[in-house]
Amino acid sequence: MCVQRFYFDHNATTPVAPEVLEAMVPCLGQVYGNASSIHCFGQAARQKLELARRQLATLVNADPPDLVFTSGGTEADNLAVLGVTRAATGATRHAVTTAIEHPAVLAAFAQLEREGVAVTRVRVGPSGVVEPEDVRKALRADTVLVSVMHVNNELGTVQPIAEIARLTRERRIPLHVDGVQALGKLPVDVEALGAGLYGMSGHKIYAPKGIGALWVRKGTPLAAIAFGGHHERDRRPGTENVPGAVAFGAAAELAARDLAGETARLTALRDRLENAILDRIPASGINGSPWRRVANTSNVYFDGIDGEALVIALDLGGFSVSTGAACSSGAVAPSHVLTAIGVGSGRARASLRFSLGRSNTAEQVDALVGALVASVERLRRISVNG
């Protein structure tokens, strides 16, 4: 007998929406020209590419030429972090980020350190929200870049980007924002935020994997990190992924259509989930700020259990969720985000992330709570008896 499956891991990736698939599939078979070619096949592809750029630009209030299509959020973040810092001149270079960034940013900063750049990683308190004053204190005369994510992928906490941008603008320091988990969940206005660069990913908003974008404010110095042709206005070489871009544009249009309504619906579902967990499962609680976060994300600890074991138990019951842990060389380490905000390693390993999306319903949430109650009780009993 097949187990009915429910998906609660939308921050990891989302299914491709039917509307997005409908826009993308014809491109795979019919719009196969190279968008850089001058013949009719190439120009048909170029028209599709630029329409997608306009659709995405509308979602974030950007000028379309300022958007660079990439292979995803990781490349967008790498291009921003490495490109801006390498373009900077001066005897010394210093860059600032936070301890709770996505690995796409943290690994790029680690590479900068190997290149001789001084890096400051701002600490973040239990709320999971960066304090602008801590960023200000980290700035130096030779600071050439600040990078702070808009929404944390594990906690869902929303960072005060506009306040941080005011600090960096006063000192003429470019601010890069990893906006991967904010796009489609919050109203994003890159001009109002005041950042210099904003990274995005298609597969987080119901487009396929393999397509992303970086918004670059006019006048922001950006060195190349890959080399080839003159695509994307000399900012990212390589033949553009036109079907992927078309899908991203369609997903952006879909996200804009009912952002407020979907936010309200997901907020109600998330609160329903959390209230039931806290009411029915002892020694459980919310990691990070319960107030300043996006609607779809909940990071919950269940003391006395192993998070990986709980993920497996839920998966066997038909519920897909995730932990904040990452596997490295066969060893499970606690989430760097949770440990960075002061959560002990034991509680960090006992934490799960639930990220809701368009397919989730109140009935699914109630079923998930029932499975959680049974699984946590069983795992705690095994732990005590074992």
What residues are labeled active site?
327
Q: Which positions ≥6 away from 318 have C-beta within 8 Å?
A: 3, 4, 5, 6, 371
Say if strands 197-201 and 175-178 run parallel, antiparallel, or are unpaired: parallel
Q: Is-contact 189 161, C-beta < 8 A?
A: no
CB-based contacts of 115, cutoff 8 Å, min separation 6: 86
d(CA 294, CA 310): 24
DSSP E strand stretches across the chain: 6-7, 67-70, 94-98, 118-122, 143-147, 175-178, 197-201, 212-216, 284-286, 297-302, 319-320, 322-323, 326-328, 331-333, 351-355
Residue 128 phi, psi dihedral angles, 5° rounding: 75, 15
With b meaning 16 or more CB within 10 Å and e meaning fewer, what string describes 292-317?
ebbbbbbbbbbebbbbebbbebbeeb
Whether the Cβ atoms of residue 262 and residue 237 lie closer than 8 Å to each other: no
| DSSP track, 253-306 | HHHHHTHHHHHHHHHHHHHHHHHHHHHHSSSEEE-S-SSSB-TTEEEEEETTS-
Q: Which of 156, 184, 159, 127 is nearest to 298 (CA)?
A: 156
Torsion of CA 128, 132, 135, 136, to 10 degrees: -160
* DSSP H or E segment with residue 371: helix 362-385
Q: How far apart are CA 53 and CA 75, in angstroms?
A: 17
**How many C-beta atoms surround the C-beta of residue 252 within 10 A?**
28
